[in-house]
């Protein structure tokens, strides 16, 4: 039997019918047509094995909820590292990317002329979903490595305390900080956590923000790309909204008590 492309365009519901994705009215109408159409019968027979494979696919899995925060932290660290290494040679500009329009045009051409593409696309999505599902379980099963622990104390004559544990997770650093009896904040104020590098000093700040919080007591989870092996000092400051950078007074500070060793 010779394949009729025009007929295929007139009846794109073959794949949807095999996958059980048509609504009842459309499914009934197509089944009536299918009884007398050899081409649609042949296409439905070709799609059937793929549909059976899709039934074995793993359920959909959401990406880790902290993916966006870790990505932003990595970008933040990269920008600040660039400002500290002004003497380093600049990288060569990246080669221009191919024009995406030509790829898009080819994709749409295939989408409307190849009747197998909807099912192949669905099968590809199932494979990606399965990989994401397996990856998520592996990620969850592995215990995160402890990168550092901190005990934060106030300056002499001041009150308040905090402790923190930092874990290395998938290339980023998650810190759980527990604060106790911090000073009461004024209007528009908040607390900010900082990681200080070895060259940090007045007039030459080497700081990476680890996050903010607004309660004098509680446990808070924050993300950063600051490696505690380099940024060993943690500081908590009182900051004012819209100030930008570290301007408030340091109310707590502490040095990493245990740091992972990659050597």
d(CA 112, CA 117): 9
DSSP for 5-65 reads HHHHHH-THHHHHHHT-S-HHHHHHHHHHHTT-HHHHHHHHHHHHHHHHHTTSPPP-PPPT
Q: Are 113 and 206 in the same domain?
A: no
Would you say residue 211 lies in a domain?
A: yes
Residue 147 predicted with pLDDT over 90: no
Q: Are 136 and 217 in the same domain?
A: no
Q: Are 121 and 211 in the same domain?
A: no
Q: Are 134 and 150 in the same domain?
A: no
Q: How much of the chain is helix, strand and coil, in % rounded to 5?
A: 35, 25, 40
Q: Are 6 and 115 in the same domain?
A: yes
d(CA 195, CA 92): 31
Q: What is the pTM of this model?
A: 0.46
d(CA 231, CA 164): 14
Among 40-54, 180-194, 216-230, name the one with the lowest average pLDDT.
40-54
Question: What total number of domains does the chain contain?
Answer: 2
Helix (H) or strand (E) holding 195: strand 189-196
| Cα torsion 235, 170, 74, 199: sign | positive
Residue 80 lies in domain: 1-86+98-142
Q: Are 114 and 81 in the same domain?
A: yes
Q: Are 126 and 235 in the same domain?
A: no
Q: Using 50, 70 and 90 to split pLDDT, how confident is the model at 245?
A: low
* Span 49-67, average pLDDT: 70
Would you say residue 81 lies in a domain?
A: yes
Q: Are 10 and 116 in the same domain?
A: yes
Place of tokens 């059937």: 48
Q: How far is residue 150 CA from its own chain's centroid?
A: 27
User: Are 14 and 45 contacting, i.e. CB atoms less than 8 angstroms apart?
Assistant: no
Q: Are 25 and 66 in the same domain?
A: yes
CATH of the domain at 210: 2.60.40
* Span 124-152, average pLDDT: 61
Would you say residue 260 lies in a domain?
A: no
Q: Are 50 and 115 in the same domain?
A: yes
Residue 263 predicted with pLDDT over 50: no
Residue 108 predicted with pLDDT over 90: no
Q: Are 119 and 161 in the same domain?
A: no
Would you say residue 19 lies in a domain?
A: yes
Q: Are 35 and 165 in the same domain?
A: no
Would you say residue 137 lies in a domain?
A: yes
What's the pLDDT tens digit per position in 17-44? Answer: 888 888 888 888 888 888 888 888 888 8
Looking at residue 2, what DSSP letter applies?
A: -
């Amino acid at each position: 039997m010779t394949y009729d492309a025009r007929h295929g365009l007139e009846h794109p519901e073959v794949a949807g019918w095999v996958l059980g994705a048509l609504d009842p009215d459309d499914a009934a109408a197509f089944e009536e047509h299918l009884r007398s159409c050899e081409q649609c019968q042949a296409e439905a027979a070709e799609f059937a094995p793929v549909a059976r494979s899709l039934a074995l696919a793993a359920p959909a899995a959401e990406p880790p909820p902290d993916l966006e925060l870790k990505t932003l932290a990595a970008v933040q660290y990269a920008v600040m590292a660039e400002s500290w290494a002004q003497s380093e040679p600049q990288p060569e500009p990246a080669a221009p990317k191919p024009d995406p329009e030509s790829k898009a045009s080819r994709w749409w051409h295939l989408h409307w002329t190849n009747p197998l593409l909807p099912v192949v696309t669905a099968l590809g999505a199932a494979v990606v979903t399965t990989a994401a599902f397996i990856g998520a379980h592996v990620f969850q099963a592995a215990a995160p490595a402890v990168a550092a622990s901190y005990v934060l104390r106030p300056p002499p004559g001041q009150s308040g305390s905090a402790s923190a544990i930092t874990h290395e997770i998938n290339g980023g650093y998650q810190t759980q900080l527990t604060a106790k009896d911090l000073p009461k904040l004024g209007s528009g104020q908040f607390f900010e956590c900082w990681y200080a590098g070895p060259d940090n000093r007045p007039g030459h700040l080497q700081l990476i923000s680890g996050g903010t919080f607004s309660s004098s007591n509680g446990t808070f989870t924050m993300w950063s790309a600051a490696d505690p092996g380099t940024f060993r000092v943690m500081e908590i400051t009182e900051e004012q909204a819209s100030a930008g950078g570290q301007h408030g007074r340091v109310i707590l500070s502490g040095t990493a008590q245990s740091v992972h060793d990659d050597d």
